[in-house]
């Protein structure tokens, strides 16, 4: 199991457009990819679901752990979360 902790880079957090872009990228993989907000309720969100990502309530500067059996998927999703996807 691969995991990486990253800081949310989008000014609006993981809402609307950023969540949709992350979910779209996660949908390209057959493997499950989970996101967990550090300090949150510890309930992982399915990275392929924009609604679940938005429900995490991750704001800019929050830490999120990306986890999957696929290390390549972890790196790709982690890199997206670190960017300002609402720019």
pLDDT for 79 = 98
Range 41-52 burial, b when 16+ CB lie within 10 A, else e: eeebbebbbbeb
In this prediction, residue 86 has a pLDDT band, given cuts at 50, 70 and 90, of confident
* Catalytic, out of 6, 9, 15, 29: 15
pLDDT at position 22 over 80? yes
Summary count for the chain: helices (H), strands (E): 3, 4
58 a catalytic residue: no
Cβ-based neighbour number of residue 62 at 10 Å: 18
- Secondary element (H or E) of residue 33: strand 33-37
pLDDT for 40 = 76
pTM: 0.95
Please, what are the domains in the chain? Answer: 2-82 (3.30.1340.10)
């Amino acid at each position: 199991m691969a995991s990486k902790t990253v800081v949310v880079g989008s000014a609006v957090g993981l809402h609307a457009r950023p969540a949709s872009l992350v979910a779209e990228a996660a949908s390209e993989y057959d493997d499950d990819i989970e996101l967990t907000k550090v300090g949150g309720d510890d309930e992982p969100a399915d990275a392929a679901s924009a609604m679940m990502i938005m429900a995490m309530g991750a704001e800019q500067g929050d830490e999120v752990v990306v986890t999957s059996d696929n290390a390549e998927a972890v790196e790709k999703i982690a890199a997206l979360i670190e960017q300002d996807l609402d720019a």
